[in-house]
Chains A and B, each alone.
Chain A
Amino acid sequence: MGPDYAIEARGLSKHFGDIRAVHELDLSVPRGQIYGFLGPNGSGKSTTIRMLCGLLTPTEGDATVLGTPIPGSARRLKPRIGYMTQKFSLFGDLTVHENLQFIAEIYSVPKNEHGARIDELLEKYDLVAQRRQMAATMSGGQKQRLALACAVLHHPELLLLDEPTSAVDPQSRRDFWANLFRLAEAGTTILVSTHYMDEAERCHRLAILDRGVKVADGTPHDLQATTGMHIVEVEAEDPYAAQAALHDLAWVASVTQLGVRLRVLVPEHHGEPVQRVEAALAGAGVAARTRLSSATLEDVFVAVTMDAAERSA
């Protein structure tokens, strides 16, 4: 296990009774990068993050976080990790300033540095005007910025963010990611879970989780280049008819509708995908334009989370 990795995990599993929340997960998160966990709800993202910060004990497997084995030494690790929960978990009946002050005291930030550090964070995360506002009365975006400010207050080396943007508007999401990039540039390793494709695309590397199993791992670019699928984009007047015509064909792995367009995934071992799709649509009497497209992360996601049978269709 080299020092180049902030997190290394081998065969990490967590079972709740009969439910396998996470199953034999291998993970290598390089230092100073933003590493994404992409997956639907219930895919094991939160469970993995909770295991990595020592909140849950793995059923099997082991992991090293910042060179420290967990869960054994999780306690020593806490001052070096920042954690942002999925649900807003700061104190709604304390003001923004009081929340930050509390976090500073809990992390034993020297008292003479409190004022400067809190002012710096209020400035950086655009919370100066909310300084004396009760946290419960703030907007989703403001709460999220406060949560991030609290998570980074003690200059953690590793930041674990559990679906940090699930409750905020698109503008807040963009600003939030700008903040993450600034932190990563300064050397912080960031592990962030999300179910937004556009966010996953911004990560340096990402792992796709499906029902507790890691089904893909790599840079977004690599993942898009190695789906093993032809992507045929179909633009039809009647997308429902087009979908009906293609859906049950044996050589079609999946059909996803995006507005008036359909994205049709055809396994690579079938030649001439565009001609095949055109012929099928013509046979069903559906007028449509078709073209070969390159894979988006959404296509990757659809391809890696489908059943093995569909994949080799």
Chain B
Amino acid sequence: MKSLSRLLAITKKEVRQLRRDRLTFGMIVGIPVLQILLFGYAINTDVRNLKTAVADQAETHLSRQFIAELGESQVMDIVARVDTAGELEDLLRAGKISVGVLVPPDFERRVIDPGRAAAQLLVDGSDPTISGIANQLRIMPVAFDTNLQQERVNNIEVRPYYNPERRTPVNVIPGLTAIILTLTMTMFTAVAIVRERERGNLELLINTPVSSAELMVGKVIPYIVIGIIQIALILVVGDLLFQVPVRGSVVDLYLAATVFIAANLSLGLVISTAAKTQFQAMQMTIFLILPSILLSGFVFPFDGMPLIARYLGELLPATHFVRLARGIMLRDAALLDLYPELVVLGVFTVVAMTVAALRFTKRLD
């Protein structure tokens, strides 16, 4: 009982301090909202309106029709008309356009010759996304309108499940919960403990009957609540602004999130035992957040990464929560379907907590 009341005393004190720390308080709300807005609006793999220049050397009815169709596709936004391939290259190099369309003088003859390409797209390949989009244009049919269109055989039909409109925010926001929680939960705990060491509070605390476990758990409880509030915030803003659905059970989502929050808090505690200053704690958190963004499957499809990157990714809690969140929110998966991810997060939490508690007791020596 004494142990519990000491733990609660720590929690109460932490909440009091938190209420007075306006910056941290602001970040609790500010970080999720800002990130949703940034990622939701800025990240868009559905590319449109690429700046395009056209060199129409054929100047025929057919070539004009072809160019008009390109413009109507909305993928391209024709901003300039030039005469030669060299001019297209100049514009490309200067960064004024992303795509150049070269229609050669013998365009009409090429169109009817299946062995030759009718026109050329000069693409800024330094951005793989743009060249990927331009690649799709290859299959655009070109034919004399008087002739019958050549039959195109569609061997494969694509049916996008779970996100039929292919809206990027639907994919981004569930993953974003993982990134936001990694950032805030890890940083808040790491900084909260290091701050006490910096200010000398810790020397006082370890001379009281408080045990390291009571101290750590007591300090972490308020942040668990904050994490849960942040998730609610993300879900509400995601729904209001981007209509991101929660197709699975909200209870499952919160259960998974609670384990994930615990994993990040324990990681924060480990950082706090290694960092000597708040600044170092921040640096270590950033060091952790980058791989969490890049290797977790949040930005790049996990299966497409090299083997070593996938192994590293599996070690990060964010990777597992990205899968859990996408599974529950988008695919209506039950927690039971995804239990291996939950087990990994649980094991991670126990290991990190143990490391933190072992390291913590030895601090002053």
A: which residues have CB within 8 A of B?
A: 50, 53, 55-57, 75, 78-79, 81, 83, 85, 87-94, 98, 102-103, 105-108
Given contacts A50-B364, A83-B207, 10 further A-B contacts (CB under 8 A): A81-B207, A87-B200, A89-B204, A90-B204, A91-B201, A105-B12, A106-B205, A106-B210, A108-B5, A108-B6
Instruction: Give the 10 A-B residue pairs with the shortest CB-CB distance, closest first.
Output: A105-B9, A89-B204, A89-B200, A83-B207, A87-B200, A78-B209, A106-B208, A108-B2, A55-B364, A85-B203
Residues of A within 8 A of B61 (CB): none
Name the contact of B9 in the complex, choosing from A90, A92, A106 (C-beta under 8 A).
A106
B207 contacts A102, C-beta separation under 8 Å:
no
A89 to B211, CA, bound (A): 18
B81 lies within 8 A of chain A by Cβ: no
List CB contacts (< 8 Å) of B201-243 with chain A.
201, 203-211
B42 to A: closest C-beta gap in Å: 37
A57 contacts B203, C-beta separation under 8 Å:
no
B20 contacts A93, C-beta separation under 8 Å:
yes
Q: Can you pick out 5 interface pairs between chain A and chain B where the beta carbons lie within 8 Å of each other?
A: A55-B203, A98-B13, A105-B5, A106-B208, A107-B208
Shortest Cβ distance from A160 into B: residue: B207
Name the contact of A94 in the complex, choosing from B17, B206, B211, B365 (C-beta under 8 A).
B17
Name the contact of A98 in the complex, choosing from B16, B21, B200, B206 (C-beta under 8 A).
B16
B216 to A: closest C-beta gap in Å: 15
Shortest Cβ distance from B196 into A: residue: A91
B152 lies within 8 A of chain A by Cβ: no
Shortest Cβ distance from B211 into A: residue: A75
B159 lies within 8 A of chain A by Cβ: no
B13 contacts A102, C-beta separation under 8 Å:
yes
A56 contacts B364, C-beta separation under 8 Å:
yes
A108 contacts B209, C-beta separation under 8 Å:
yes
Residues of B within 8 A of A53 (CB): 207
Residues of A within 8 A of B16 (CB): 93-94, 98
A105 to B209, CA, bound (A): 10
A93 to B208, CA, bound (A): 20
A79 to B: closest C-beta gap in Å: 5
A78 to B208, CA, bound (A): 6
B13 contacts A103, C-beta separation under 8 Å:
no
Residues of A within 8 A of B12 (CB): 102, 105
Contact (A85, B204) CB under 8 Å given A55-B364, A56-B365 = yes
Shortest Cβ distance from A91 into B: residue: B201
Chain A interface, DSSP helix/strand/loop, else mixed: loop
B199 lies within 8 A of chain A by Cβ: yes
Shortest Cβ distance from B9 into A: residue: A105
A83 contacts B204, C-beta separation under 8 Å:
yes
A91 contacts B365, C-beta separation under 8 Å:
no
B201 contacts A90, C-beta separation under 8 Å:
yes
Contact (A55, B207) CB under 8 Å given A92-B199, A93-B17 = yes
Shortest Cβ distance from B10 into A: residue: A106
Residues of B within 8 A of A57 (CB): 365
A55 to B212, CA, bound (A): 13
Residues of B within 8 A of A81 (CB): 207
A81 to B206, CA, bound (A): 12
Residues of B within 8 A of A88 (CB): 200
Residues of B within 8 A of A102 (CB): 9, 12-13
A108 to B211, CA, bound (A): 13
Residues of B within 8 A of A83 (CB): 204, 207
List CB contacts (< 8 Å) of B170-194 with chain A.
none
A166 to B: closest C-beta gap in Å: 14
A89 contacts B9, C-beta separation under 8 Å:
no
Residues of A within 8 A of B203 (CB): 55, 85, 87, 89
A105 to B21, CA, bound (A): 23
A92 to B5, CA, bound (A): 23
Name the contact of B201 in the complex, choosing from A50, A56, A89 (C-beta under 8 A).
A89
Which one of A50, A75, A85, A106 has the highest number of Cβ atoms from chain B below 10 Å of its Cβ? Answer: A106
B210 to A: closest C-beta gap in Å: 6
A81 to B208, CA, bound (A): 8
Contact (A93, B21) CB under 8 Å given A56-B364, A56-B365, A108-B5 = yes
A294 to B98, CA, bound (A): 94
B103 to A: closest C-beta gap in Å: 70
A50 to B2, CA, bound (A): 25
A5 to B211, CA, bound (A): 28
A169 to B: closest C-beta gap in Å: 21
As a 0/1 sequence over residues 331 to 365 of chain B, the CB contacts with chain A under 8 angstroms (1 = contact) are 00000000000000000000000000000000011
As a 0/1 sequence over residues 8 to 24 of chain B, the CB contacts with chain A under 8 angstroms (1 = contact) are 11101100110011000
Shortest Cβ distance from B205 into A: residue: A106
A56 to B203, CA, bound (A): 11
A72 to B: closest C-beta gap in Å: 14
Residues of A within 8 A of B13 (CB): 91, 94, 98, 102
Residues of B within 8 A of A55 (CB): 203, 206-207, 364
Shortest Cβ distance from B215 into A: residue: A106
A311 to B: closest C-beta gap in Å: 35
Shortest Cβ distance from B6 into A: residue: A106
Residues of A within 8 A of B206 (CB): 55
A102 to B13, CA, bound (A): 7
Shortest Cβ distance from A14 into B: residue: B365
List CB contacts (< 8 Å) of B69-118 with chain A.
none
B311 to A: closest C-beta gap in Å: 38
Shortest Cβ distance from B208 into A: residue: A106
B97 to A: closest C-beta gap in Å: 56
A93 to B209, CA, bound (A): 22
A103 to B8, CA, bound (A): 12
Shortest Cβ distance from B207 into A: residue: A83
Residues of B within 8 A of A75 (CB): 209, 211
A224 to B208, CA, bound (A): 38
Residues of B within 8 A of A90 (CB): 201, 204
A93 to B192, CA, bound (A): 13
A140 to B: closest C-beta gap in Å: 15
A103 contacts B201, C-beta separation under 8 Å:
no
